[in-house]
Structure 1
Protein backbone atom coordinates (compact mmCIF):
# COMPACT_ATOMS: atom_id res chain seq x y z
CA UNK A 1 0.00 0.00 0.00
CA UNK A 2 1.21 3.52 -0.76
CA UNK A 3 2.56 5.52 2.15
CA UNK A 4 1.94 9.25 2.36
CA UNK A 5 4.53 10.15 4.96
CA UNK A 6 6.39 12.50 2.60
CA UNK A 7 3.44 14.69 1.59
CA UNK A 8 3.03 18.36 2.34
CA UNK A 9 0.21 20.68 1.49
CA UNK A 10 0.87 23.66 -0.76
CA UNK A 11 -1.36 26.61 0.07
CA UNK A 12 -3.15 28.48 -2.66
CA UNK A 13 -0.74 30.92 -4.22
CA UNK A 14 -2.14 34.33 -4.97
CA UNK A 15 0.91 35.90 -6.57
CA UNK A 16 1.57 34.55 -10.04
CA UNK A 17 3.10 35.74 -13.26
CA UNK A 18 0.28 37.08 -15.40
CA UNK A 19 0.53 38.08 -19.02
CA UNK A 20 -2.28 40.24 -20.47
CA UNK A 21 -3.80 37.15 -22.13
CA UNK A 22 -3.32 34.84 -19.14
CA UNK A 23 -0.65 32.94 -17.27
CA UNK A 24 2.92 32.49 -18.44
CA UNK A 25 6.13 30.99 -17.11
CA UNK A 26 8.58 33.35 -15.45
CA UNK A 27 12.03 33.84 -16.95
CA UNK A 28 14.50 30.99 -16.33
CA UNK A 29 11.76 28.56 -15.29
CA UNK A 30 11.14 24.93 -16.16
CA UNK A 31 7.77 23.23 -15.76
CA UNK A 32 7.72 19.49 -16.42
CA UNK A 33 4.34 17.91 -17.10
CA UNK A 34 3.42 14.23 -17.09
CA UNK A 35 0.37 12.10 -16.52
CA UNK A 36 0.20 9.63 -13.65
CA UNK A 37 1.44 6.15 -14.54
CA UNK A 38 -0.71 3.27 -15.80
CA UNK A 39 -3.45 2.21 -13.43
CA UNK A 40 -5.26 -1.06 -12.73
CA UNK A 41 -8.46 -1.05 -14.75
CA UNK A 42 -10.55 1.81 -13.34
CA UNK A 43 -9.05 1.57 -9.87
CA UNK A 44 -7.08 4.39 -8.30
CA UNK A 45 -3.99 2.18 -7.90
CA UNK A 46 -1.10 1.71 -10.31
CA UNK A 47 -0.71 -1.54 -12.24
CA UNK A 48 2.62 -3.40 -12.28
CA UNK A 49 3.42 -1.59 -15.54
CA UNK A 50 2.50 1.70 -13.86
CA UNK A 51 4.83 1.02 -10.94
CA UNK A 52 7.63 0.29 -13.46
CA UNK A 53 6.81 3.53 -15.26
CA UNK A 54 6.85 5.50 -11.98
CA UNK A 55 10.34 4.16 -11.26
CA UNK A 56 11.41 5.06 -14.82
CA UNK A 57 10.38 8.67 -14.20
CA UNK A 58 13.42 9.02 -11.92
CA UNK A 59 15.87 8.32 -14.77
CA UNK A 60 13.79 10.32 -17.27
CA UNK A 61 14.10 13.49 -15.19
CA UNK A 62 17.61 12.98 -13.80
CA UNK A 63 19.13 15.76 -15.95
CA UNK A 64 16.33 18.26 -15.24
CA UNK A 65 17.37 19.24 -11.71
CA UNK A 66 13.87 19.00 -10.27
CA UNK A 67 13.57 21.04 -7.07
CA UNK A 68 9.85 20.62 -6.40
CA UNK A 69 7.35 17.83 -7.07
CA UNK A 70 3.65 18.64 -7.35
CA UNK A 71 0.59 16.42 -7.73
CA UNK A 72 -3.07 16.47 -6.81
CA UNK A 73 -4.07 14.42 -3.78
CA UNK A 74 -5.10 11.38 -5.83
CA UNK A 75 -3.56 8.01 -4.97
CA UNK A 76 -2.42 7.12 -8.51
CA UNK A 77 -0.68 10.51 -8.89
CA UNK A 78 0.96 10.29 -5.47
CA UNK A 79 2.05 6.71 -6.14
CA UNK A 80 3.59 7.84 -9.44
CA UNK A 81 5.46 10.64 -7.65
CA UNK A 82 6.75 8.45 -4.81
CA UNK A 83 9.91 6.99 -6.44
CA UNK A 84 10.99 10.44 -7.67
CA UNK A 85 10.33 11.97 -4.25
CA UNK A 86 12.42 9.27 -2.58
CA UNK A 87 15.26 9.60 -5.11
CA UNK A 88 15.42 13.38 -4.72
CA UNK A 89 14.57 13.45 -1.02
CA UNK A 90 11.78 15.92 -1.73
CA UNK A 91 8.19 16.05 -0.52
CA UNK A 92 5.28 15.79 -2.92
CA UNK A 93 3.49 19.11 -2.61
CA UNK A 94 -0.21 18.79 -3.23
CA UNK A 95 -2.06 21.30 -5.40
CA UNK A 96 -5.81 20.99 -6.03
CA UNK A 97 -6.36 19.44 -9.44
CA UNK A 98 -9.13 21.75 -10.63
CA UNK A 99 -7.03 24.83 -11.52
CA UNK A 100 -3.35 24.16 -10.84
CA UNK A 101 -1.77 26.48 -13.40
CA UNK A 102 -1.32 29.62 -11.29
CA UNK A 103 0.24 27.69 -8.40
CA UNK A 104 2.57 25.83 -10.78
CA UNK A 105 3.65 29.02 -12.53
CA UNK A 106 4.44 30.56 -9.14
CA UNK A 107 6.29 27.47 -7.92
CA UNK A 108 8.40 27.26 -11.10
CA UNK A 109 9.77 30.81 -10.89
CA UNK A 110 13.50 30.34 -11.45
CA UNK A 111 13.24 26.61 -10.68
CA UNK A 112 12.61 23.26 -12.27
CA UNK A 113 9.37 21.71 -11.02
CA UNK A 114 7.26 18.73 -12.08
CA UNK A 115 3.48 18.27 -12.12
CA UNK A 116 2.19 14.69 -12.12
CA UNK A 117 -1.35 15.24 -13.26
CA UNK A 118 -4.38 13.80 -15.01
CA UNK A 119 -5.77 14.25 -18.52
CA UNK A 120 -8.16 17.02 -17.50
CA UNK A 121 -5.75 19.20 -15.55
CA UNK A 122 -2.90 18.66 -18.03
CA UNK A 123 -5.21 19.87 -20.79
CA UNK A 124 -6.19 22.84 -18.63
CA UNK A 125 -2.55 23.80 -17.98
CA UNK A 126 -1.79 23.49 -21.70
CA UNK A 127 -4.69 25.78 -22.56
CA UNK A 128 -3.96 28.26 -19.75
CA UNK A 129 -0.37 28.65 -20.98
CA UNK A 130 -1.54 28.85 -24.62
CA UNK A 131 0.85 26.10 -25.75
CA UNK A 132 0.85 24.59 -29.21
CA UNK A 133 0.67 20.93 -30.09
CA UNK A 134 -0.89 18.20 -27.99
CA UNK A 135 -0.73 18.14 -24.20
CA UNK A 136 1.18 15.17 -22.67
CA UNK A 137 -1.84 12.95 -22.07
CA UNK A 138 -0.54 9.42 -22.73
CA UNK A 139 1.15 7.27 -20.12
CA UNK A 140 4.89 7.94 -20.38
CA UNK A 141 4.58 11.34 -22.08
CA UNK A 142 6.86 13.99 -20.62
CA UNK A 143 6.67 17.64 -21.70
CA UNK A 144 9.44 19.94 -20.53
CA UNK A 145 8.47 23.61 -20.79
CA UNK A 146 11.37 26.04 -20.48
CA UNK A 147 11.19 29.83 -20.38
CA UNK A 148 14.58 31.35 -21.20
CA UNK A 149 16.02 34.72 -20.10
CA UNK A 150 13.91 36.44 -22.77
CA UNK A 151 10.69 34.66 -21.80
CA UNK A 152 10.66 32.46 -24.90
CA UNK A 153 9.06 29.13 -24.05
CA UNK A 154 10.31 25.95 -25.68
CA UNK A 155 8.72 22.52 -25.39
CA UNK A 156 10.83 19.38 -25.30
CA UNK A 157 8.99 16.07 -25.49
CA UNK A 158 10.22 12.75 -24.14
CA UNK A 159 8.86 9.28 -23.49
CA UNK A 160 9.70 7.11 -20.50
CA UNK A 161 8.86 3.72 -19.05
CA UNK A 162 7.72 0.47 -20.62
CA UNK A 163 6.17 0.43 -24.10
Structure 2
Protein backbone atom coordinates (compact mmCIF):
# COMPACT_ATOMS: atom_id res chain seq x y z
CA UNK A 1 0.00 0.00 0.00
CA UNK A 2 2.78 2.43 0.89
CA UNK A 3 4.61 1.47 -2.26
CA UNK A 4 1.54 2.21 -4.39
CA UNK A 5 1.04 5.59 -2.68
CA UNK A 6 4.70 6.44 -3.24
CA UNK A 7 4.53 5.52 -6.94
CA UNK A 8 1.28 7.44 -7.37
CA UNK A 9 2.83 10.50 -5.70
CA UNK A 10 5.95 10.24 -7.83
CA UNK A 11 3.86 9.95 -10.99
CA UNK A 12 1.79 12.99 -10.02
CA UNK A 13 4.91 15.07 -9.34
CA UNK A 14 6.35 14.10 -12.71
CA UNK A 15 3.11 15.00 -14.49
CA UNK A 16 2.89 18.34 -12.69
CA UNK A 17 6.49 19.17 -13.54
CA UNK A 18 5.83 18.40 -17.20
CA UNK A 19 2.79 20.69 -17.21
CA UNK A 20 4.43 23.58 -15.36
CA UNK A 21 5.10 26.55 -17.66
CA UNK A 22 8.72 27.00 -18.59
CA UNK A 23 10.40 29.88 -16.88
CA UNK A 24 13.53 31.81 -17.69
CA UNK A 25 16.51 29.80 -16.43
CA UNK A 26 18.05 31.39 -13.34
CA UNK A 27 21.53 30.67 -14.69
CA UNK A 28 20.91 32.20 -18.13
CA UNK A 29 23.23 34.99 -19.20
CA UNK A 30 21.32 35.82 -22.33
CA UNK A 31 21.01 39.26 -23.88
CA UNK A 32 17.51 39.69 -25.28
CA UNK A 33 16.83 42.61 -27.59
CA UNK A 34 13.18 43.58 -27.91
CA UNK A 35 11.90 45.63 -30.84
CA UNK A 36 8.40 46.52 -31.94
CA UNK A 37 7.74 45.96 -35.63
CA UNK A 38 8.35 49.08 -37.72
CA UNK A 39 5.73 51.65 -38.74
CA UNK A 40 2.75 50.21 -40.56
CA UNK A 41 -0.39 50.96 -42.47
CA UNK A 42 -2.86 48.16 -41.96
CA UNK A 43 -1.13 44.81 -41.64
CA UNK A 44 2.07 45.64 -43.55
CA UNK A 45 4.90 48.13 -43.20
CA UNK A 46 4.49 51.51 -44.84
CA UNK A 47 7.30 53.45 -46.55
CA UNK A 48 8.58 54.83 -43.25
CA UNK A 49 8.44 51.36 -41.69
CA UNK A 50 10.42 49.80 -44.52
CA UNK A 51 13.06 52.55 -44.15
CA UNK A 52 13.21 52.02 -40.38
CA UNK A 53 13.52 48.24 -40.80
CA UNK A 54 16.41 48.83 -43.22
CA UNK A 55 18.23 50.75 -40.45
CA UNK A 56 17.90 47.94 -37.90
CA UNK A 57 21.18 46.18 -38.85
CA UNK A 58 23.07 49.46 -38.36
CA UNK A 59 21.33 50.18 -35.04
CA UNK A 60 22.35 46.74 -33.73
CA UNK A 61 25.88 46.70 -35.17
CA UNK A 62 27.41 46.51 -31.67
CA UNK A 63 25.60 43.23 -30.92
CA UNK A 64 26.65 39.81 -32.19
CA UNK A 65 23.29 38.16 -32.70
CA UNK A 66 22.87 34.40 -32.42
CA UNK A 67 19.21 34.30 -33.43
CA UNK A 68 16.28 36.36 -34.67
CA UNK A 69 12.83 35.47 -33.27
CA UNK A 70 9.36 36.65 -34.20
CA UNK A 71 5.75 35.53 -34.11
CA UNK A 72 4.24 34.62 -37.48
CA UNK A 73 2.90 38.09 -38.29
CA UNK A 74 3.64 39.78 -41.65
CA UNK A 75 4.69 43.19 -40.27
CA UNK A 76 7.07 41.56 -37.78
CA UNK A 77 8.62 39.38 -40.45
CA UNK A 78 8.98 42.39 -42.78
CA UNK A 79 10.79 44.25 -39.99
CA UNK A 80 13.12 41.29 -39.44
CA UNK A 81 13.93 40.75 -43.12
CA UNK A 82 16.74 43.35 -43.56
CA UNK A 83 18.43 42.17 -40.35
CA UNK A 84 18.09 38.54 -41.40
CA UNK A 85 19.67 39.27 -44.79
CA UNK A 86 22.45 41.44 -43.36
CA UNK A 87 23.48 38.80 -40.80
CA UNK A 88 22.62 35.74 -42.88
CA UNK A 89 20.48 34.49 -39.99
CA UNK A 90 17.03 32.98 -40.50
CA UNK A 91 14.03 34.34 -38.65
CA UNK A 92 12.81 31.69 -36.23
CA UNK A 93 9.06 31.81 -35.73
CA UNK A 94 7.94 30.84 -32.24
CA UNK A 95 4.72 31.34 -30.28
CA UNK A 96 4.60 34.53 -28.25
CA UNK A 97 3.60 32.60 -25.13
CA UNK A 98 6.66 32.13 -22.91
CA UNK A 99 8.92 33.44 -25.68
CA UNK A 100 11.39 34.78 -23.13
CA UNK A 101 11.88 31.31 -21.65
CA UNK A 102 12.11 29.73 -25.10
CA UNK A 103 14.81 32.16 -26.26
CA UNK A 104 16.89 32.05 -23.07
CA UNK A 105 16.77 28.26 -22.93
CA UNK A 106 17.88 28.00 -26.56
CA UNK A 107 20.68 30.58 -26.09
CA UNK A 108 21.65 30.58 -22.38
CA UNK A 109 24.81 32.59 -23.08
CA UNK A 110 23.89 34.20 -26.39
CA UNK A 111 22.32 37.32 -27.82
CA UNK A 112 18.91 37.15 -29.48
CA UNK A 113 16.33 39.58 -30.81
CA UNK A 114 12.54 39.40 -30.60
CA UNK A 115 10.62 41.48 -33.11
CA UNK A 116 7.14 41.70 -31.71
CA UNK A 117 4.02 43.71 -31.01
CA UNK A 118 3.01 45.95 -28.10
CA UNK A 119 1.27 43.22 -26.11
CA UNK A 120 3.86 40.47 -26.43
CA UNK A 121 6.69 42.96 -25.85
CA UNK A 122 5.14 43.92 -22.49
CA UNK A 123 4.68 40.25 -21.59
CA UNK A 124 8.25 39.25 -22.49
CA UNK A 125 9.66 42.37 -20.79
CA UNK A 126 7.92 41.35 -17.56
CA UNK A 127 8.89 37.69 -18.00
CA UNK A 128 12.56 38.70 -18.26
CA UNK A 129 12.36 41.08 -15.31
CA UNK A 130 12.78 44.31 -17.28
CA UNK A 131 12.51 47.54 -15.31
CA UNK A 132 10.43 50.49 -16.44
CA UNK A 133 8.26 50.30 -19.52
CA UNK A 134 8.75 47.78 -22.31
CA UNK A 135 9.66 49.25 -25.71
CA UNK A 136 6.40 50.30 -27.34
CA UNK A 137 7.10 53.11 -29.81
CA UNK A 138 8.25 52.55 -33.37
CA UNK A 139 12.04 52.62 -33.38
CA UNK A 140 12.42 52.01 -29.65
CA UNK A 141 14.70 49.13 -28.67
CA UNK A 142 14.92 47.56 -25.24
CA UNK A 143 17.86 45.36 -24.30
CA UNK A 144 17.77 43.12 -21.23
CA UNK A 145 20.99 41.38 -20.29
CA UNK A 146 20.49 38.59 -17.80
CA UNK A 147 23.40 38.45 -15.40
CA UNK A 148 24.52 36.20 -12.56
CA UNK A 149 22.46 35.94 -9.38
CA UNK A 150 19.26 36.89 -11.19
CA UNK A 151 20.38 40.49 -11.90
CA UNK A 152 19.26 42.33 -15.02
CA UNK A 153 20.82 45.17 -16.93
CA UNK A 154 18.43 47.22 -19.07
CA UNK A 155 19.58 49.40 -21.98
CA UNK A 156 17.49 51.47 -24.38
CA UNK A 157 18.32 52.36 -27.98
CA UNK A 158 16.44 53.70 -30.97
CA UNK A 159 16.27 53.02 -34.68
CA UNK A 160 16.28 56.61 -35.87
CA UNK A 161 14.36 58.26 -38.65
**Are 2:36 and 1:35 aligned?**
yes
**Structure 1 moving runs of 4+ over 6 Å:** none
The number of residue pairs the alignment matches comes to 143
Normalised to the residue count of structure 2, the TM-score between the two structures is 0.80
Secondary structure in structure 1 of the residue aligned to 2:52: helix
Task: Report the equivalent of 1:105.
Answer: 104
Call closer, same or farther: CA 1:102–1:150 in 2, change over 3 Å.
closer
Normalised to the residue count of structure 1, the TM-score between the two structures is 0.79
Q: Which has the higher helix share?
A: 2
- Return the index of the structure with the highest Cα Rg: 2
* 8 Å contact kept, 2:33–2:142: yes
Secondary structure in structure 2 of the residue aligned to 1:55: helix
**Are 2:113 and 1:114 aligned?**
yes
Task: Report the equivalent of 1:7.
Answer: none
Task: Report the equivalent of 1:154.
Answer: 153
Q: Which structure 2 residue ranges, 5 or more long, are not aligned?
A: 1-18
Q: Which structure 1 residue ranges, 5 or more long, are not aligned?
A: 1-13
State the Cα distance separating 1:26 from its structure 2 match.
4.0
**Are 2:125 and 1:133 aligned?**
no
